[in-house]
Amino acid sequence: MLAVLSVEARKLNRSLALVLATAAPSLIAVFLFFNILRGKPPGPPWEMLMQSSAGIWAFFMLPMSVTALTALVAHMEHGPKSWDHLRALPVSRWKLYAAKALCVLAIVAAMSAAVLGMAWLSATAATAIKPELAPTGPLDLMHHARTLTMILGASLLLIAIQLWTALRFSSFVPGLAVGIGGTFFAVVATSAKQGVFLPWQMPVNMMASEAWRVQTALALGGGLGLVALIAMVVHLARREVL
């Protein structure tokens, strides 16, 4: 399994995955940077800044990044039509798909960490330009890291659906359609109570004030996400043609 993971990592290193993983958190950081600079003294509370960055990530950037990332990971095999070669190798087929799932999860986890780090860096950079706008109040990095970890956990079902679709169909269109459609309905149904059951809205529910929404979204997103990832690996490993 380690050998398969190593190969997948090298493939991603030669792709645009690193650019994508850097671009999404950077855009959030740039938004925060200029938003701080356009404010007036005193500076905004650290709590508000970090919550804003996590909210943007969970609400929009994470779903769209997962859509792009899963399409990229799948196209590395669909594009050159290399599935037949891979599946003919003396390696259990399930390992091929499990490795791709683990790599996607690792990249999304790294992006989540980057959101936290870049949000802090953007506020620090803005403060260097206008010291009077320095963020106020305590900065509890562990609390915000925990929130981002919960967002990652709640996004497992979303990731499973996107990756399953991207790997199942050789065209990138179905995966993009699912991702764009899911994000659209998550945006327009933001205030709906039923939104807690929508995979694309589960991550942002980690920041809800109602405890039941947080618990429900985390249980469904994380629990069903793990089940869906396992089902994806089993299903794709049994297929003869992709």
Residue-wise pLDDT for 132-158, tens only, equals 988 988 889 999 999 999 999 999 999
Residue 231 has pLDDT above 90, yes or no: yes
Q: 169-178, long-range: CB within 8 Å, 24+ apart, which pairs?
A: 170/78, 170/242, 171/78, 172/71, 172/74, 172/75, 172/78, 175/67, 175/70, 175/71, 175/74, 176/67, 176/71, 178/67
d(CA 31, CA 49): 11
Cα 221 to Cα 199: distance, rounded to the nearest angstrom: 7
Kindly calculate the radius of gyration of the chain based on its CA atoms and give it in whole angstroms.
19
Which positions ≥6 away from 215 have C-beta within 8 Å? none
Element (DSSP H or E) covering residue 175: helix 173-188
Helix (H) or strand (E) holding 227: helix 225-238
* 166 Cβ contact list (under 8 Å, min separation 6): 70, 71, 73, 74, 75, 172, 174, 175
Rounded Cα gap, residues 183 and 120, in angstroms: 27
In terms of pLDDT, which residue wins out, 208 or 193?
208
* pLDDT tens-digit series, residues 167-178: 998 888 899 999
pLDDT in tens, 46-93: 999 999 999 999 999 999 999 999 998 888 877 667 776 777 777 788
* b (16+ CB within 10 A) / e for 54-67: bbbbbbbbbbebbb
- Helix or strand (DSSP H, E) at 220: none
Do 67 and 174 touch, CB atoms closer than 8 A? no
For residue 7, the model assigns a pLDDT of: 66
Nearest residue to 201 via CA among 227, 178, 183, 220: 183
Q: What is the DSSP string of 36-66?
A: HHTS-SSPPBHHHHHHHHHHHIIIIIHHHHH
Confidence of residue 6 (pLDDT cuts 50, 70, 90): confident
